[in-house]
């Protein structure tokens, strides 16, 4: 049963922020490349980061490069590809090498997509994503295609997200990214707060909870490890703006001032 969760409390200067992007801060689009970032958002995140001594990381399924392009001029510490690549506060990037077999999986999925209009295979380099947002009736065949493509390779895992099945090296997730950030400045010694919307964010919620922090689910209520809930992206932006000592106003583009 889905429990009713309270709204998150007002922010504390001692928090460290871990923010998912799609479905949490920006609207999900028909394809990953079709999203739009409201102009005030990078400024709001910059301001929120400054209020917390730089302890703000974006934790996303997108690649680091993609995050940088979307959020420019804000270029925060970030975990891309669900934690497979991380950029720390000093700009150093760590990329995990994928286990063997990714090329075979990619080839098999590319073949499956050819036979199924509406499925979109996104190649993220170290990970793959099979999207069925444009053909929701293909969810089961997409799932079967991924399971078949993975075969018995223990090095990879399937991650079911919103209208997408992701393939990524096993054992790395948004939770491991949070734990890694929390060992280093400016995050260490702070209280982690993970904010996300998707099933893949549950790893981040659990890590934040276990580290004595807070977790906030954005959007549709569901069974979750999150402690708090915000109704939608607008509510999330408003809460973050208050935490940054400002107000969110997407219409005027003056959210950060
Ligand atoms: Mg999301």
Rounded to the nearest angstrom, the distance between the alpha carbon of 142 and the centre of ligand 1 is 20
Rounded to the nearest angstrom, the distance between the alpha carbon of 5 and the centre of ligand 1 is 19
Superfamily of domain 15-96+172-243: HAD superfamily/HAD-like (3.40.50.1000)
Q: 198 catalytic, yes or no?
A: no
Rounded to the nearest angstrom, the distance between the alpha carbon of 255 and the centre of ligand 1 is 22
73 by Cβ neighbours in 10 Å (0-12 / 13-18 / 19+) ranks as exposed
Domain extents in the chain: 15-96+172-243, 102-169
The model carries a pTM of: 0.89
Superfamily of domain 102-169: Trehalose-6-phosphate phosphatase related protein; domain 2 (3.30.70.1020)
Q: Which residue in the list 20, 22, 197, 198 is annotated as catalytic?
A: 20
pLDDT tens per residue, the chain (257 residues)? Answer: 567 999 999 999 999 999 999 999 999 988 888 999 999 999 999 999 999 999 999 999 999 999 999 999 999 999 999 999 999 999 999 998 888 999 999 999 999 999 899 999 999 888 999 999 999 999 999 999 999 999 999 999 999 988 999 999 998 999 999 999 999 999 999 999 999 999 999 999 999 999 999 999 999 999 999 999 999 999 999 999 999 999 998 654 444 44
**Beta strand spans in 133-207 (E):** 156-161, 164-169, 191-196
């Amino acid at each position: 049963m889905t429990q009713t969760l309270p709204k998150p409390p007002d922010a504390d200067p001692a928090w460290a922020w871990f923010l998912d992007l799609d479905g949490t801060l920006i609207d999900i689009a028909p394809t990953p490349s079709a999203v739009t970032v409201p102009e005030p958002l990078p400024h709001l995140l910059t301001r929120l980061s400054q209020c917390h001594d730089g302890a703000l990381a974006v934790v996303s399924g997108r690649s680091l490069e993609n995050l940088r392009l979307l959020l420019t001029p804000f270029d925060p510490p970030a975990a891309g590809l669900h934690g497979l690549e991380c950029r720390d506060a000093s700009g150093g990037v760590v990329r995990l090498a994928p286990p063997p077999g990714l090329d075979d999986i990619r080839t098999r999925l590319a073949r499956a997509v050819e036979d199924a209009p509406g499925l979109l295979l996104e190649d993220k380099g170290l990970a793959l994503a099979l999207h069925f947002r444009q053909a929701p009736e293909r969810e089961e065949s997409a799932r079967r295609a991924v399971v078949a493509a993975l075969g018995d390779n223990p090095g990879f895992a399937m991650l079911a997200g919103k209208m997408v099945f992701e393939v990524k090296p096993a054992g790395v997730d948004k939770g491991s990214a949070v734990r890694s950030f929390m060992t280093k400045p400016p995050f260490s010694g702070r209280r982690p707060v993970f904010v996300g919307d998707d099933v893949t964010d549950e790893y981040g919620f659990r890590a934040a909870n276990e580290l004595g922090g807070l977790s906030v689910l954005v959007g549709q209520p569901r069974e979750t490890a999150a402690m708090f809930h915000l109704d939608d992206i607008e509510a999330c932006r408003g809460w973050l703006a208050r935490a940054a000592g400002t107000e969110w106003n997407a219409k005027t583009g003056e959210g950060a001032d």
